[in-house]
Structure 1
């Protein structure tokens, strides 16, 4: 006896005899409810934001301390000392050794991590909700009395040198450093990673001196998100960090204006791939054009369903990845367009990148492109707020730019309100090829001829 299967395949389910089934219209965007929150500034100058999100019995912690180089010296050792500080601060305090720090945090399901960049020192951590006091106590001890032991520092410094040497050989790091210097010259923001020889010269005394002088509460932001009572959490922070007093943390000076000029060819002999990095001025979160700019950026290269990906990856096969993004800082924002391609197609890839920039400026995104980007952007924003960790990171980033958490809750409505004409205006204003500068990191012997023929590139 035989039977005939009536099971349908995906192609049959998704279509009708007349063609593909139309997608149902999206419903109205739901508003994001405001959680219970306290946002206050302590007498020390530390801003504390405590948010109740009780989905799981955990607390997420984010601390951002402005940690800029204010020496004014072009050959400053600040970046090297700061990196060593962030690497060794968990090595112990006057009252807790490294093992004791780890054990106390582990006992409350907790963890703390330190990182540093030219703008700030960042602490990320979490713990079970009933371990909040322990998490704060360990944090306070590290901030106030980390000892940076000589033997631990020597070992961590050697490991850091190895990591930096490996990183400096990576094409993406070479391209990033070259782009920063092309955009901002000798500004401290360009020192995102110290050189190995600079780290080798760092002493324990220099690290301890930097912690004492630069790790200050004034202007810093501490965010706690989780299963907590916000007012009570602020009181706990105030008690735990009562000893953390002093001046105001050092902030970066405003970045120099980003000006349009030719790209710079950075020679990397023997390279089999080239790195294209283009950048132009943009506007930040408080500008009324920001939402339209975000949508225009997505249409260009901000996600997989974008023009750059369709052209450089799907049509030409030049690359696996091409993107455009917005880099935000407290003073504004810049656009970055990037891709890595084989050496032999360096000039053609740059040509197509410029073509897509020009096409976006004069042939703006269609209504379908705008709507697709809108759905992606709103969805991504909402996803970033669904977890305690994501919400804590988002709130901390906003606070560092002088914004409150209400901004992120209200932004989906701003995105929904953007018209196709506003996206077209943003595309024309910000994405014209003549607005960009940047670098091409490539083997000049293989790629130089094509780039010179194309023009707009300074070549050796």
Structure 2
């Protein structure tokens, strides 16, 4: 057939490639049907109708921090064993019975724990919501943590921790947390094997009874449901869950700028660089500009850190910067792993990029690219029931409603290049950072000493 043009011809003009049309205005995210309420027990329930598929996603976040004031990891070890063994059985269901009941409604449920909270994630077919809630209530109220199951799971957990503890990234994370926050409970992200070995069944049962409480907790349901009806079902299923308020994480100590700490890892062929500085959280008016400045530095592949350390110098495969959020605010984190012989040069370039961002702020093109990426990522995170449930649960755990995430694209669109420049100057100056370098001190110490700004024990 004659007269048909190729894609190349369609995209071209006699004088060159056809210019792309400007991006259209960002569409607003419609608000779904939702109920957000607090039950008499103190449990906050957020139920959202998203009838994309006949499923329901469940997220439960329970503040589960160590408030004992002890400078040890006993709480972290007991909490890890609790999260590992809670599915072993209840007073009315065996492990197999739990699996069978959930499988009958196309469901799953899982538990995890960190220094701040106990997290539960699950899903089921929409008409299996009652079963999912019944299993959840049974686990929260009547988990037995049988001695034989606990012993087996404790051994498996010790093996996993021993394997993980040998990983350079885990060693670097632990060192960074201790450098930032000392002996604060937030640093106890992974207990040590000997601490897990010492955990008893009585300690696990006692922690569940004393700390797994509804007050201050958040339960999110997203799916093919009627929100008001879903809240009523939650209230009925969890009627027996009462007894007080869950323990929140104590306020973090102030993150102070100081020299990086060299942590010796003899024989290591790679070094882990971890830098961190104070930032601001989601409710601060500077937060959208800070997000865009962070993306320009190292928040995605088209960033300055990646261009310098990976593409130009070839020092690393991966370099990044990110914002770590907590209920008390946020911190900036810059990280990369490099070969031992380029540890000093890589740190020099990372500091250079921080300083360059502060004094040579992101250009209009850099800001616009970061904006498009961030808005797109935010919208993608809300397209599925699972993504929306996780996003709402994360916001609710920080005291925010789902309206924050729907309104945030507009806040990002309103940020000016000058505001991003101001955020870059305020938050990314190299003198604001501390952190660690985990490396073979014998190979890297002299170069780091010459570079300066590194504490070498």
- The normalised TM-score by structure 2 is 0.98
Query: What are the within-5 Å matches in structure 2 for residues 269-288 of structure 1?
Result: 269-288=266-285
| Contact 2:73/2:188, CA 8 A, preserved across alignment | no
The residue that corresponds to 1:395 in the other structure is 392
Q: What's the offset of the Cα at 1:24? A: 2.2
SS of aligned partner of 2:70: coil
1:300 aligns with 2:308: no
How many Å separate the matches in 2 of 1:453 and 1:229?
65
1:63 aligns with 2:63: no
Query: Structure 1: where are the runs of 5+ without partners?
Result: 1-5
1:168 aligns with 2:165: yes
SS of aligned partner of 2:109: strand
Query: What are the within-5 Å matches in structure 2 for residues 55-454 of structure 1?
Result: 55-454=52-451
Q: What's the offset of the Cα at 1:11? A: 7.7
How many Å separate the matches in 2 of 1:164 and 1:218?
31
How many Å separate the matches in 1 of 2:427 and 2:7?
42
The residue that corresponds to 1:3 in the other structure is none
Cα deviation, 1:233-263, whole Å, max 9, x if unaligned, reads 0000000000000110011110000010000
How many Å separate the matches in 2 of 1:201 and 1:222?
32
Cα deviation, 1:49-88, whole Å, max 9, x if unaligned, reads 0000000000000000000001100024000000000000
Distance 1:21 1:169, change over 3 A: farther
Distance 1:310 1:220, change over 3 A: same
| Contact 2:71/2:183, CA 8 A, preserved across alignment | yes
How many Å separate the matches in 2 of 1:186 and 1:196?
19
| Contact 2:101/2:131, CA 8 A, preserved across alignment | yes
Q: What's the offset of the Cα at 1:20? A: 4.6
SS of aligned partner of 2:337: strand
Cα deviation, 1:119-170, whole Å, max 9, x if unaligned, reads 0000000000000000000000000000000010000000000000000000
Distance 1:249 1:444, change over 3 A: same
How many Å separate the matches in 2 of 1:415 and 1:132?
36
Q: What's the offset of the Cα at 1:14? A: 6.2
How many Å separate the matches in 2 of 1:180 and 1:23?
46
How many Å separate the matches in 2 of 1:371 and 1:18?
27
How many Å separate the matches in 1 of 2:163 and 2:137?
33
How many Å separate the matches in 2 of 1:273 and 1:243?
53
Cα deviation, 1:159-194, whole Å, max 9, x if unaligned, reads 000000000000000000000000000000000000
Distance 1:20 1:177, change over 3 A: farther
How many Å separate the matches in 2 of 1:179 and 1:360?
23
Cα deviation, 1:7-54, whole Å, max 9, x if unaligned, reads 999888766675554332111100000000000000000000000000
The residue that corresponds to 1:26 in the other structure is 23
Cα deviation, 1:301-338, whole Å, max 9, x if unaligned, reads 00000000000000000000000000000000000000
How many Å separate the matches in 2 of 1:113 and 1:8?
55
SS of aligned partner of 2:213: coil
Query: Structure 2: where are the runs of 5+ without partners?
Result: none
- The normalised TM-score by structure 1 is 0.97
Question: Deviating runs (4+, > 2 A) in structure 1?
Answer: 6-24
How many Å separate the matches in 1 of 2:382 and 2:359?
35
Distance 1:44 1:441, change over 3 A: same
Cα deviation, 1:365-387, whole Å, max 9, x if unaligned, reads 00000000000000000000000
SS of aligned partner of 2:216: coil
Distance 1:227 1:298, change over 3 A: same
How many Å separate the matches in 1 of 2:189 and 2:19?
49
SS of aligned partner of 1:56: coil
How many Å separate the matches in 2 of 1:16 and 1:163?
61
How many Å separate the matches in 1 of 2:19 and 2:114?
48
Q: What's the offset of the Cα at 1:426? A: 0.1
